[in-house]
Amino acid sequence: MAEGINEVSDATFESEVIKSDIPVLVDFWAPWCGPCKAIGPVLEEVSKGYAGKIKFLKCNVDNNPRTPSSFGIRAIPTLILFKAGQRVDQIVGMADKAKIQDILNKSL
């Protein structure tokens, strides 16, 4: 697991994401997904610039089927940005650093 990006599960999603005081970017992924592995280092790099302002979490869709299905996730990687418990933006598929930073900056 990446150092600055923690796992979130079906059991912890509400407390970690919905009730968070700051915006949260959730990376829905799976270990067998090539693009998911490719976006990991990009997210790790981006997360360093938002320490204390935005929380970064990963949700393994194989181990936590309830949460992805509740948000209608059909493809991975999917990044969803939550603010005040609400979905405010999302990116489906591979994204570069600039695209990720763009949605994050809009939430601040």
pLDDT per position as a tens digit, 10-68: 999 999 999 999 999 999 999 999 999 999 999 999 999 999 999 999 999 999 999 99
- For residues 85-99, one letter each, b for 16 or more C-beta atoms within 10 angstroms of the residue's C-beta and e for the rest, the string is eeeebbbeeebeeee
Q: 36, 46, 59, 73: which one is catalytic? A: 36
Write down the pLDDT at residue 30: 97
* Active-site residue identified among 2, 22, 30, 33: 33
pLDDT of 3: 52
Q: Is the pLDDT of residue 91 over 70?
A: yes
Torsion angle (degrees, nearest 10) of CA 108, 69, 93, 90: -20
Reply yes or no on whether 36 is catalytic: yes
List, in order of start, the domains of the chain with CATH numbers.
Answer: 6-107 (3.40.30.10)
Residue 59 is a catalytic residue = no
Residue 43, pLDDT score? 97
Over residues 57-86, the mean pLDDT reads 97
